[in-house]
Amino acid sequence: MPENNEQLGIVISGSLNKGVEVRLDSAASVEDMAVGRYVTIEGEKRRFFGMITDISLGVIDQKLTLTPPDISDPFMAEVLAGTSVYATLHVLPMLTIGGGVTELIEGPQPVKTVASHFSRVNLASQRDVELVFGGEDERKFYIGTPLDMETRICLDLPELVKRSNGIFGKSGTGKTFLTRILLIGMLQKSAAVNLIFDMHSEYGWAGTSEGGRAVKALKQLFPEQVAVFTLDEENSRRRKVSTDFVVKIGYDEIEAEDMVLLRQTLNLTEPAIEAVYQLSRRFRRDWLLSTLQLKDSEETRELLKELSIHESTFQNLQRGLATIRRLPFIESHASTNAVEAILDHLDRGSNVVLEFGRYRDITAYILVANMLTRRIYAKYQERMERAMGEDIAPPHPLVITIEEAHRFLNPGIASQTIFGTIAREMRKYNVTLLVIDQRPSGIDDEVMSQLGTKISCLLDNERDIDSVLSGVSGKSELKSVLARLESRQQALIFGHAVPMPVVVRTREYGSADSYKDFLPAGAAEIRKQAEKDIEELWQ
């Protein structure tokens, strides 16, 4: 494999929009090249930093493709490689580094021109990568390493939490591990507090690897900074998870607006949703329980006639609401207020993981996530407006993590939901989203365009790839990079938190050493306890 700074070839053609073609030197093996690797181009006045996005083979004489020569003789193979056959790299330059006054003062800058013909192309060195991505500090968090290099790639976390972000990839590619690492980064750097709607109980106390091995989650690594809430106390007890709060939802807490997201899940018609608002106006806070208790009687028919609700619409609504009634955590009136409990922990800088236990039905997930998010967002809106009016400190940035994001943000309902509102408003009220999904094509295009940073593991569906890369400069080139990621522990990262798109091999998670690395420097007592836990885990 070529050493860093060894010449790979020279620029022979190209453009600013489509990238440049590089003729590979005969001394460099084409099999050592890989899509996603970094190169530098030594222009006359600037150095360019770019990524290999395609590799191709060519011949000087087309007759060679019709009558291929015998290359069993090593000497003949060497002669042909130097005279008749060649390889080209397609390189997408993305930044200029250290070539002019601006680059020297302000650091790497976006590419606005191309290198001249026959400019030398080298494999990027460790120093080049460090110059572009910087080192880990109070703002930047180590997420992984480039392909075939040991340099650490870091995300700018304060920049990350300014907008909503997404983690994508087909099932089994490591989205959950990536999410854990990113959440740990936010905890470690105190970039934001997190509210995590944990559908599969993977982020609270412990999770599982692809091989079924138990791995530590946030609460074990940061016991003082993470609170575990649960909808299923019995499940938590069986798993020996110490919980901070048991969430119960009262019938009188569910508002008409909470039903909009459940329309598709409960198979409700549009008239049924309109009927919800009419019944809510009639029965106020008790509308849901009162609707369920209405019997097939003359009195009920009179009420429906008065409210202009068709009988078939009412039956459709009752069938849908019966699904909600079957959820065990729904009570006539909840004795504790989950919203106040969550806000109390967030205000103290504690991150909240809400585990769903056995209640993994999508109806339960959407209902609870939507209800709590609407109310918490309203509180943050009030606090931000008061902070601006009274010139006081605003609330700490909040990141809300949701799985199965297409259920909340599909084109049919994104404009009507709180999640669509948060994504479009960016950090207007100090609240952003972290969306996790294996079907990004199911998310509304406008929402996808508002995501500041996207982290994508392998996707093999054409529509999903197009959705993730929509609106990105160099989309066609990055498309080939994304489609060729390995099935595990590799991801393409692009957006506001990194200076340019980067393919990384994500850092290790799940070993004793990796747990130690995640702990903040100087946290002696926490580190000591973690080491004790690690010894017990690996005995």
Q: Specify the range with the lowest mean pLDDT, choosing from 147-161, 198-212, 409-423, 478-492.
A: 198-212
Domains in the chain and their CATH numbers? Answer: 7-133 (2.40.30), 156-248+336-507 (3.40.50.300), 251-330 (no CATH), 510-539 (no CATH)
341 exposure class (CB count in 10 Å sphere: 0-12, 13-18, 19+): middle
Q: How far is CA 340 from CA 236, 345, 418, in A?
A: 22, 9, 19
Q: How far is CA 283 from CA 10, 180, 246, 259, 262, in A?
A: 76, 43, 28, 16, 20
Alpha-carbon span 295 to 298, nearest angstrom: 9
Which 8-state DSSP code applies to residue 43? -
Alpha-carbon span 487 to 167, nearest angstrom: 15
Residues 445-466, mean pLDDT to the nearest whole number: 92
131 neighbors 98 (Cβ within 8 angstroms): yes
User: Over the range 405-417, which residues count as b (16 or more CB within 10 Å of their CB) and which as e?
Assistant: bbbbbbeebbeeb
pLDDT of residue 394: 87
SS3 per residue for 247-293: CCEEHHHCCHHHHHHHCCCCCCCHHHHHHHHHHHHHHHHHHHHHHHH
The single residue listed with the structure tokens 């001394």 is 27
Give the chain's mean pLDDT.
87
Residues 152-170, mean pLDDT to the nearest whole number: 92
Helix, strand, or coil (residue 32): helix
292 alpha-carbon distance from chain centroid: 39
pLDDT digits (tens, 9 = 90+) for 216-260: 999 999 999 999 999 999 999 998 888 999 999 999 999 999 998
pLDDT of residue 163: 92
pLDDT digits (tens, 9 = 90+) for 165-198: 999 999 888 899 999 999 999 998 888 999 999 9
pTM: 0.86
- Per cent of the chain over pLDDT 90 is 57
Which 8-state DSSP code applies to residue 357? T
The single residue listed with the structure tokens 């008065």 is 306
